[in-house]
Amino acid sequence: MGHGISSAGPPRILYNVQIAPELPIVKGWYQEANEDFRNENILGKHDWENDDENYNIIIPDEFVSGIINRGGEGINIVKRLADVQVSFQKRDQMQQLGITERKCQIKGKIGGVISACAMIHASMCNMIGQTKMNFCVLIDNKMAGIVIGKGGSKFKELREKTGIRLEIEPQCHPAFGGTQRRLTFKDANFMQMACTMFEVFKTIKEYGLSH
């Protein structure tokens, strides 16, 4: 279909993370992003929003220490504000698989998961002094066609609705068990990313409930 990049594509360009943020600064970023997301009022319209589920995101390794911050104090703020569980795959595990990104699993209700992602994305943007950047989630291979839509129709619909271009790997990445693909939200601010992520997860969830 032509969407996305090869799983064995060129080496990832590392972000120039300009600061090692102090915990009070990170806390401020997290609180602001969480409040802004909650004020968007995209939640509370579907019964399945109360289900606890696991979601996986992919974070460039150079951001992880700033997100976790001081022995876990930073990510603990995310867990508390979003009411989720968060765990990172160990760096050496990912390096053995030949990638320079870390898988992060977030477990909780969809609203909390997206709130946590919004906080993490906002923090990453601040760490490079930008308001927009790519953000990557993992989706099951069997759901890829549902998210893309016939002839790319769902991608087009989501771009028209949220202003964000989506890009998906054309095949499963071996580093992620051979069953998942990276789905990238291109050049998004944290609110665009959060709203688009909700629409993607909504598409997947509603398809699952109807089949």
- For 15-44, how does the pLDDT look when each residue is reduced to its tens digit (9 = 90+)? 888 777 899 999 999 999 989 988 887 777
Query: What strands lie across the sheet with 53-60, from one edge to the other?
Result: 85-88, 101-108, 53-60, 133-140, 180-188, 165-168
pLDDT at residue 20, rounded to an integer: 74
**Chain mean position to CA 61:** 14
Span between the terminal Cα atoms of the chain, in Å: 24
Nearest to 9 by CA among 90, 96, 92, 98: 98
**Res. 120: pLDDT tops 50:** yes
* pLDDT at position 109 over 60: yes
Q: Which CATH architecture has domain 23-210?
A: 2-Layer Sandwich (3.30)
Kindly list the domain boundaries of the chain, sorted by start residue. 23-210
Higher-pLDDT residue of 48 and 155 is 155
Mean of the pLDDT values across residues 171-200?
Answer: 91
Among 68-72, 88-92, 119-123, the range with the most confident prediction by mean pLDDT is 119-123
Q: Which residue has the tokens 């997947």?
A: 204
Top-confidence residue, 50 or 2: 50
Assess whether pLDDT exceeds 60 at residue 2: no
Residues 125 and 64 sit within 8 Å (Cβ to Cβ): no
Is the model's pLDDT at 210 over the cut of 60? yes
Q: What percent of the chain has pLDDT over 90?
A: 64
Number of H helices, E strands in the chain: 8, 6
- Cβ atoms 85, 79 nearer than 8 A: yes
